[in-house]
Structure 1
């Protein structure tokens, strides 16, 4: 995760360029940290908000593109191992055709499952315009909430970073446990 101690000198030297690059990589933490820096007068508030929204959407587009184009580059054995075949792609396309907006909104407002859902939207070949529209709609309250947290509790950024990290690791651990259980249930018995 990005540390405020490392970000502050970079922001002083390079300003919003650092925030833009970092927001694409780690949007929630950067939203809190950069707003705390705006509160201290090191960054202009409204341009920070615009850069955070743009960085958030740029990260979403990267995930979408990876899902849309990366699947074809993935070795067939890996796709089979992950359960991503033509039938799964059709199932994803149907799901995102019917529930794409709801799925993206829910995923975007949770820190842990956003990336896999954005990848799945790309794999499902969800049209880009609705994808961006739903993500922009969800990015507004998410970014506003994180900025409010940074403005009012910016001094507690270490605690925010710790809790965001804990929830992410907890979600990943639950996914890993689920994958192991699924494997044990579905493995061939010899």
Structure 2
């Protein structure tokens, strides 16, 4: 997604329906923004969590499907197109065949490796049910953390906005009083 500033408007205008496809593309960012929108009452927090988990899971299944449809001899070509070197993908496929659950959990926890791990899990022909369950078990707490983070940021923003409003008023009154005092001092010095 090229313009992230459009995400809040899309989600607040169309609701949870837009959250699932956006979560497929930009999961964590969209989930945090949706959590913030939930904190100001535009969305239901539980609905945000469900939509974020569904979107993240669909995106993961899409990458798994791409990897599953590949023959191993085609993997380097796809890896090059996705800017993943063969030196990373082929050993990763072998490692997933041996330790799939551990590697998948690590891939889901670390966003940097997630893309390659999901693709390699498909190429390694990991069991789809196992893949889905592991992803679901990782997605629920991860999405809950992002929704909570967005919710807390939204609440903090509301409080900070109120504090800044009062703080700005106090500073403004202080500047007016200081300016008035300065004018009186200057006027007294002239007379």
TM-score, scaled to structure 2: 0.68
Q: Any residues of structure 2 matched to 1:1-190 within 5 Å, and which?
A: 5-71=5-71, 74=74, 78=77, 82-83=85-86, 88=90, 92-93=93-94, 95-154=95-154
Which string of whole-angstrom CA distances, capped at 9 and with x for unpartnered residues, describes residues 55-89 of structure 1? 01000001101111144794x883798548xxx48
C-alpha contact (below 8 Å) 1:2/1:30 kept by paired residues? no
TM-score by length of 1: 0.69
Contact 1:4–1:33 (CA under 8 A) maintained in structure 2: no
Aligned pair count?
A: 151
CA distance in 1 between counterparts of 2:40 and 2:3 reads: 16
**What are structure 2's unaligned runs of at least 5 residues?**
158-191
CA distance in 2, matches of 1:11, 1:79: 33
The structure number with the bigger radius of gyration is 2
- Quickly say closer, same or farther: Cα 1:122–1:46, change in 2 above 3 A: same
**Distance of 2:14 and 2:73 partners within structure 1:** 36
SS of residue in 1 equivalent to 2:112 = coil
Contact 2:66–2:122 (Cα < 8 Å) also in 1: yes
The Cα of 1:153 is off from its aligned counterpart by 1.9
Q: Deviation digits for residues 5-62 of structure 1, max 9, x if unmatched?
A: 4123222331111111100111010110001001111111111110000001000001
Q: CA RMSD in A?
A: 2.9
